[in-house]
A and B are shown apart, each in its own frame.
Chain A
Amino acid sequence: MVLGSYKTAICARAADPGILAKSQDGGIVTQLFAFALEEGIIDGAVVAGPGDEPFKPEPIVATTVAELLEARGTRYTICPNMSMIKEATRTYGLDKVGIVGTPCQIQALRKAQLYPMGMRSVPDKIALAVGIFCMENFPYQGLETMVEDLCNVKMESAVKMDIGKGKFSVYTERGAVSQIPLKLTHKFEQGGCHVCLDYVANLADVSTGSVGTPDGWSTVFVRTKVGEDVWGRAIGAGYFETKDIADVKPGLDLVTKLANEKISKNQKTLEERATFGVNKGLRNPYL
């Protein structure tokens, strides 16, 4: 069950070329939220909006498609989307909240729904949770070092960053691409990521990521009744182009392989943590 439970897996991309233009891969998150907004399935979504510095996202509550478009593209650093989950239901006045998050953020969301001690009136207002695949994340200073020192690109000049095929790539406005092997980035990873046992956002309604499908497309898992409903309606309305996941390369085998790698590596970390000191271990949140 390294991919979690899901009803269907699809290869898909947004049908709207405007959305696709500046999206990371298939534009799934932006397109799905845009559809859900237009249909009234959600009345706003917590997404990673632009921050003060380049590629340093800040969580925003997007209530229009224009605001969603501002938030397109992956920034490989932490955006504390959960910090806005309550405010979205308060001064923003939302009743049906969408949220996008990494697997850990979706875990936080589900815990907040089942054990909502400090989350009054949040649990039943979550209308659509979209998860994104995540191997690990980088603190902003780590990302800055990778981009500016290792890739020799000024953060301001970067237009897109990407991880794939064993490389971390930075694309500039002038079309240059700078790449480093992924292994150089490991030391900059956030420590808290190394105990994470979820690669493909197992607890989301819909989760998506680039792994498993060709460039410009995304792998999509539809997991819950809510996810099935929204996805079905979006497909029906022609918001996505799809292909059978069995027909694309590299397909779910690669997703499974990477998920296994992440989980077994981090299981090992958890084991090491248990005997980290001398007759003393580090805390395990899953026990």
Chain B
Amino acid sequence: MGLLSYLKEIFTGKQDAPEAPVAPAAPAAPTKVEVPQPAEAKPAQTPADVKVEQKPEETKMEELPVADKITIGHVHMSGCTGCLVSLADNYEGLFALLDNYADLVYCLTLADVRDIPKMDVALVEGSVCINDHHSVEDIKKARENATIVVALGACAAYGNVTRFARGGQWNQPQHESYLPIGDLIDVDLYLPACPPSKESIRNVAVMAYLLLKGTDEQKELAAAYLKPLMDLAARGVEACGCDLMVDVINQGLCMGCGTCVAACPVRAIDMVYGKPNIDREMCIKCGVCYAQCPRSFFNFDVINQFEAIGEAIDAAMGKGGE
């Protein structure tokens, strides 16, 4: 958890003096904390394949140290694997990610490692059935073994459809209570939506890499990028289309852009008299309408750089550019 306090230092620093890049001075010491042993961490693949390649970085981001990769795991709780499929839907980008930036050290669906190892980033998919002791042990172990825990998708973050669960079904009718992981462990980042888009998972993976292995400048960018997702994690474990009413319209912030309509995965939102109308009988409580809303969070320091960040991510993925 050294990293987290480091992150917080950066953020509190930023709040004090928004224009000045304060961060780089502080972090030096904590960054080296808990870098897992890459050799042990990569057992799914034969040693011949472990090639740390020079990555094709990066227009703006000057000399990137030829760092080792970060380690990522996918921890499957009570979810549907759709979030993992979304990650895999980066197609050739998935290989760019795994070749250059991240070793997938744990993922029951894709690799043979059976126990949750130490890792830099745990992507947790699914909510936790508290009536199943294996699930509870797994989520605790994930927290213990990971530097950064990401609630990947709506079930982990907010419960999503498992919020409706009430047990009563054979062969385990006692499986009736499902909790978002944030009710049981500290969660560093939320990535809501059902499922989070392939691009958003890619962006978080790249930013996690920059945060852990990048230059000071890159660390600062990555920290700024990830901050709103940390804030979402701090905001709480409940989400619903009603958030648009409660936290946007009621707060006098809605300007009727319609983003929520496009984001909703079950077409539960339409615009009525310039404001979103939520069909609450359709809403599955995934939280994406609020997260995607430009008036939930809007960080000028990051989004003003949309052009440069977009180019940097494209370059990192080995596409676009000239």
Q: Do A and B come from one complex?
A: yes
* Shortest distance between the CB of B109 and any CB in chain A (Å): 20
**A197 nearest in chain B by CB position:** B300
Judge whether A107 and B292 touch: CB under 8 Å: no
How many angstroms from the CA of A121 to the CA of B294 in the assembled complex? 19
Find out whether the CB atom of B258 lies under 8 angstroms from the CB atom of A83: yes
**Chain A residue nearest to B292 in the complex (CB):** A118
Q: Mark A167-202, 1 if CB is under 8 A from B, else 0.
A: 000000000000000000000001111111100001
Please tell me which one of the listed residues A104, A114, A120, A190 contacts residue B203 in the complex, with CB atoms under 8 A apart. A114
Given the known interface contacts A120-B86, A224-B307, A283-B253, the answer about A59 and B199 at a Cβ–Cβ threshold of 8 Å is no
Residues of B within 8 A of A119 (CB): 197, 199-200, 262-263, 292
* Interface membership of B65, Cβ < 8 A: no
Q: When A120-B86, A192-B295 are in contact, do A137 and B289 touch as well, CB less than 8 Å?
A: no
Q: In the complex, what's the smallest C-beta–C-beta distance from A102 to chain B, in angstroms?
A: 8
Set of chain B residues within 8 Å of A124, measured between Cβ atoms:
199
- The complex places the Cα of A117 from the Cα of B202 at a distance, in Å, of 11
Interface segment, one of A24-32, A84-92, A239-247, A250-258: A84-92
> 0/1 per residue, A129-145, Cβ < 8 Å to B?
00000000101110000
Number of contacting residues on B, CB 8 A?
51
Closest residue to B319 on the A side, CB-wise?
Answer: A124
Interface size on A, residues (CB 8 A): 53
Q: Is B170 an interface residue (CB 8 A)?
A: no
Residues on A with C-beta less than 8 A from B200 are 115-117, 119
Give residues 135-163 of A contacting B (CB, 8 Å). 137, 139-141
Are B263 and A117 interface neighbours, CB within 8 A?
yes
Query: Are A80 and B298 within 8 A (Cβ)?
Result: no
Q: How far is the CA of A122 from the CA of B199 in the complex (A)?
A: 9
Q: Is B259 an interface residue (CB 8 A)?
A: yes
Contact (Cβ within 8 A) B294 A118: no
Chain A's nearest CB lies how many Å from the CB of B54?
25
Q: At the interface, yes or no: B283 with Cβ under 8 Å from chain A? A: no
Tell me the smallest distance from the CB of B307 to a CB of chain A, in Å. 5
Q: A87-B262, A111-B298 are in contact. Are A120 and B303 (CB under 8 A)?
A: no
Q: Can you give 19 A-B contacts (C-beta < 8 A)?
A: A78-B255, A78-B256, A80-B256, A82-B257, A82-B259, A108-B259, A108-B293, A108-B294, A112-B259, A115-B228, A118-B262, A121-B199, A137-B256, A140-B274, A191-B252, A192-B252, A203-B303, A283-B251, A286-B298
Additional pairs, 20, CB under 8 Å, beyond known A112-B259, A114-B303: A80-B271, A82-B258, A82-B262, A83-B262, A107-B298, A111-B298, A112-B263, A114-B203, A115-B291, A116-B200, A118-B197, A118-B262, A119-B292, A120-B197, A124-B199, A192-B254, A192-B255, A192-B256, A192-B295, A194-B252
Nearest first, the 10 A-B pairs at minimum CB distance are A80-B258, A83-B258, A118-B263, A192-B255, A83-B261, A120-B197, A118-B288, A78-B256, A108-B294, A78-B274
Mark B residues whose CB is within 8 Å of A.
86, 191-193, 196-200, 203, 225, 228-229, 247, 251-259, 261-265, 270-271, 273-274, 288-289, 291-300, 302-304, 306-307, 309-310
